[in-house]
Amino acid sequence: MRTHSIESLKEQRRKGTIETEVPFIFNGKQETVPKKIVNGEMEIIDIDKPFGEMMTSETSRKELVQKVVLDVELGREEVPVLYKPIYETLTDPNFPKEFEAKWAQRGTVIFFEHLEGEEVKFGSLQAESGPIARLKGYAAGFEYTKEMEIFNQMFNFEMLNKAFGEAHNALLNHLHLGPIIQYGYKAANKTAPVYVKPDGNTGTQADAHYMLSLRGTLRKALKDTRTAKRPGTILLANSADKEDIQEALGSMTLQATPYGATAGITDIIYYDGWETDVARKSYAYEGVPQGKAYLIRPKRGFKELVKQGLQINSTIGDLSRLVQAQIVGDFWRGVFAAVEENVQEITLPGQ
């Protein structure tokens, strides 16, 4: 099975060469700057001029914005998005502001034996039930001050750019994984701990074998989703439970009794949330609680709606506040998550 975590995805990006074009807005026109990563090292723009000189001509300002864009991308590399195995991505600049739940539909067709004179049975579109998807705009900005210019504080400049990129991807993870973690599940969508004694019989927490119990709980969750006709294949969990989960899903031998590996889970995503401080105020996105996990049927009821990806725009600053330039980034997107139809909440056994 494939595992997805911040560290594992960063490790994958350290292999081979990745080349893309990153868009940005300059003087009202869309431009692009090449982004290249070779064996985990990303090429960035080094500026050898004083910061103030970069604001004196259009060519220099454009070079400065290109550096901003690549620095932001460097920050995004530090916080990879984790939700891609769960969601289908739909991109369209013409998306409306709101979607009815019926838009998340799929074709259903079945072939029947045709008897002479009978009408052909036609397929239809079936929709997932769930919340209305609303597209929203998100924006953030930062300012380059005269103090940065006269003291040539390029290191502060680069730190702000990188933090901008980290915050963008952290929000994406929260927008897409938060609905799964924060949902109030009904009894039919919950799997309680299964306790198994060392001899393989059902027990209690007091006399159970932890690894056999964890194995039994995950297998029970798989069975629950299949019985409910929403078979889960992706497990969302806390990284503190990583070693135990992966050991429980593998084969093991206990008291001369072999236990086979558990099949059916193709991907495990480990998400612990994210937090930061801005202007002395703390912000945090909730991760999967330790001891909980979520078994998910992907794609069908999970849609990532992108109207506009992140765009960086540079403007002249505010002289009255000695701000030399402002950088603003915005993006417009929505999330459709039919959680109840596609997710099983699992409470892992205690030790």
Strand 88-91 to strand 302-316: parallel, antiparallel, or no bridges (unpaired)?
parallel
pLDDT at 332 over 80: yes
Q: Where are the beta strands (DSSP E) in 297-341?
A: 302-316, 323-337
pLDDT of 347 above 70: yes
Q: Does the pLDDT at position 125 exceed 50?
A: no
Percent of the residues in the chain that have a pLDDT greater than 90, as a whole number:
54
User: pLDDT tens, 217-232?
Assistant: 999 999 999 999 999 9
Cα angle 269, 274, 279; round to 5: 165
pTM of the model: 0.86
Radius of gyration of the chain (CA): 25
Query: Does 102 or 19 have the greater pLDDT score?
Result: 19
Nearest-CA neighbor of 98 among 299, 302, 307, 301? 307
CA 248, 252, 258, 262 torsion-angle sign: positive
* pLDDT at residue number 13: 86
DSSP secondary structure of 203-267: --TTT--HHHHHHHHHHHHHHHHHHTT----EEEE-GGGHHHHHHHHS-EEETTEEEPPPPS--E
The three-state secondary structure class of 176 is helix
- Contacts for 34 with CB less than 8 Å, ≥ 6 apart: 19, 20, 21, 22
pLDDT, tens digit (0-9, with 9 covering 90-100), for 299-313: 989 999 999 999 988
- Alpha-helix residue ranges (DSSP H) falling in the chain: 6-13, 58-78, 146-150, 154-181, 210-227, 242-249
* pLDDT tops 80 at residue 55: no
Task: Give the integer Cα–Cα distance in Å for 202 and 189.
Answer: 22
Q: Please tell me the predicted confidence (pLDDT) of residue 256.
A: 84
Do 337 and 130 meet the contact criterion of CB atoms below 8 Å apart?
A: yes
pLDDT category of residue 78 using cuts at 50, 70 and 90: very high
Report the 10 Å Cβ neighbour count for 302.
Answer: 27
Q: How far apart are CA 3 and CA 81, in angstroms?
A: 13
Q: Is the pLDDT of residue 126 over 60?
A: no
CA distance 64 to 75: 17
What is the helix, strand, coil percentage profile of the chain, to 5? 30, 35, 35
